[in-house]
Structure 1
Amino acid sequence: MRAQHEKKRYVASISPYTTSILHYRKPFVVAWWGAAFPGFGHFMLSKYLTAFILISWEVIINNLAHLNEAIFLSMLGKFDEAISVLDQRWIIIYVCMYVFSIWDSYRLTIEMNKHCTLAYHEGLPAMVKNTSSTEINVIDKKNPLLALLWSLLTPGLGNLYVTRVISVIFVLTWWLVITYEANVFPAIHLTMVGKFEEATNILVPQWLLFIPSIYCFAAYDSYVSAVEINNFVDRYLGRELKNKYQDRHFKMPI
């Protein structure tokens, strides 16, 4: 009873709606995604509430400060115009949030890696409740390339494939909002019919610059999630087979 009571560090939480796997991550990679789009680093760590706050803050404050528009003008060499469009009332508070997102995602990754080490030493304890009256989550291996492909076709579908429904809600909702506001799909239609100048003119740079980050992150996150779910399935099944079916006196080959 004592050993069971001491197992407080879980390596996975599996519900009908999401699969969260605790695994080793490189702090600099997580911090980089936090820099690419504040909140994405926390999103990778399954800190969904914190990620929602930071992502919402990024979109709202960035728009109020006209930061993406200023970046776009700077890329065209129009530095004076870039400075003039920035709203000084919002840009300073944006910088504080931006730095916090990078720092906190880096710090949390280090702490979670420590937690992960202890959880593995405790025998891979997992919280599993994968059925409900509305949904079921079958714990099986996923094809990482399929997860990547679906995410490239439509961000969010890869996460749906690996049963991370909370991630789907985040990614797909913001993808729809951002592409709508940026006029991406009308621009694609105009491009397909050869009206390139019109397609360029209707794009909204302030919203358009959000797209590379969210598009690439959705693909990366779904691929990594599929790989780590497969690793967890291998370790979990290996543990169960060893504990329940392997003779205790069996000597493993050296």
Structure 2
Amino acid sequence: MAESYKKKRYAAIISPFTTSILHYRKPFVVAWWAASFPGFGHFMLNKYLTAFILISWEVIINNAAHLNEAIYLSMIGRYGDAMEVLDQRWIILYICMYVFSIWDSYRLTIEMNKHYTMAYRDNYPIIIKNTSSLEMNLVDKKSPILALFWSLLTPGLGNLYVTRILSVIFILTWWLIITYQANVYTAIHYTLMGDFSHASQSLIPQWFLFIPSIYCFAAYDSYVSAVEINKLIDRYMSRELKEKYQDLEFKMPL
């Protein structure tokens, strides 16, 4: 019974499509990312379905309330216009979701840290099923700097490098939708042509203000994922060497 109970506390699951790792996280950091963009906190905790619901809710309700547009108008000093552009029918509903996202991600981080502590004391059990006919997830070390570089080049590529396909689907899909709606690529084209006036005028603030959050989060998440994957491999190899290759008569040095 004890052995069966222990097996319920897995520290990591490696599948052909992603690597989900349970590791210690600071609750305030997770809550901060949830505050920057609702859903990102749950995304960090590998709760992809919840994250998808919250991120979709953020984009839909934020646009319905014209919240980002109001923030932009406030930033340039047009406070009266900012108040007028807000849709009061949606903003209260948005606030409820926003506060819940921060609170729930903070709460879950504390609980997962407890689970991680127990799993670590249970010799860090891992489920590895990393091959299929569609994809293969090699358990090898990744360079955090390379993961960061590819994410900065295009959000989602860093997660693709560390083989977190589910993360790639989320981040890259939303990145394409948001940048297209914000006319980012049109603005880049005008910028390369030296027409800075048209570049700034072509941007749509309501969609553009989503970009800093998703861009920075993609870089952060891919970097941390690479670091934690490397730690996971070190722990796994250390355990395998001790259990299968170390002579039982070997005396550890004091």
TM range (shorter): over 0.9
TM normalised by structure 1 equals 0.98
Letter in 2 for 1:195: D
Cα distance in 2 for residues equivalent to 1:182 and 1:152:
18
Q: C-alpha displacement at 1:7, in angstroms?
A: 2.0
Aligned partner of 1:230 in structure 2 is 230
Does residue 1:89 correspond to 2:72, yes or no? Answer: no
Q: Distance in 2 between matches of 1:101 and 1:51?
A: 9
Q: CA deviation at 1:3?
A: 2.5
List aligned pairs for 1:45-194, cutoff 5 A: 45-194=45-194
CA distance in 2 between counterparts of 1:64 and 1:5 reads 47
Q: Secondary structure at the match of 1:24?
A: coil
Please give the alpha-carbon distance, in whole angstroms, between the structure 1 residues aligned to 2:4 and 2:121: 13
Q: Which residue of structure 2 lines up, in the alignment, with residue 35 of structure 1?
A: 35
Q: Deviations over 1:130-168 (max 9, x none)?
A: 011111110000000000000000000000000000000
- How far apart are 1:91 and its partner, in Å? 0.0
Q: Report the Cα distance in structure 2 between the residues aligned to 1:104 and 1:251, rounded to whole angstroms.
A: 47
Deviations 1:21-51 (A, max 9, x none): 1100000000000000000000000000000
- CA displacement at 1:221 relative to structure 2: 0.1
Q: Given residue 204 of structure 1, which amino acid in structure 2 is its aligned partner?
A: I
**Secondary structure of the structure 2 residue equivalent to 1:116:** helix
Gaps of 5+ in 2: none
Q: Identical aligned pairs, as a percentage?
A: 74
Equivalence map 1:211-250=2 (5 Å): 211-250=211-250
AA matched with 2:103:
W
Aligned counterparts of 2:201 and 2:69: Cα–Cα separation in 1? 14
Instruction: Give me the whole-angstrom Cα distance separating, in 2, the residues matched to 1:137 and 1:154.
Output: 21
Q: What is the SS of the residue equivalent to 2:56? A: helix
For structure 1, the residue ranges without an aligned partner over 5 or more in a row are none
Cα distance in 2, alignment partners of residues 29 and 97 from structure 1:
19
What amino acid maps onto 1:103 in structure 2?
Answer: W
Residue deviations 1:197-238, cap 9 Å, x none?
111111000000000000000000000000000000000000
For residues 103-125 of structure 1, give each alpha carbon's deviation from its aligned partner in whole angstroms, at most 9, with x where no partner exists: 00000000000000000111111
Moved over 4 A (4+): none
User: For each residue in 1:153-195, what CA deviation from the matched residue of structure 2 results, as whole angstroms up to 9, or x when unmatched?
Assistant: 0000000000000000000000000000000011011011111
Worse-superposed segment, 63-72 or 190-199: 190-199
State the alpha-carbon separation in 2 of the partners of residues 224 and 160 from structure 1: 14
DSSP 3-state at the match of 2:77: coil
CA deviation string 1:2-30 (max 9, x = no partner) = 52553210000110000011100000000
Q: Distance in 1 between matches of 2:228 and 2:159?
A: 13
Residues of 2 paired with 1:248 and 1:121: CA distance? 21
Alignment partner of 1:8: what SS? coil
CA distance in 1, matches of 2:49, 2:6: 28
Aligned-partner Cα distance in 2 for 1:114–1:56: 29
| TM-score, with structure 2 as normaliser | 0.98
Distance in 2 between the 1:48 and 1:155 partners?
17
SS across alignment from 1:127: strand
Greater Cα offset, 120-129 or 57-66: 120-129
Shift of 1:251: 2.0
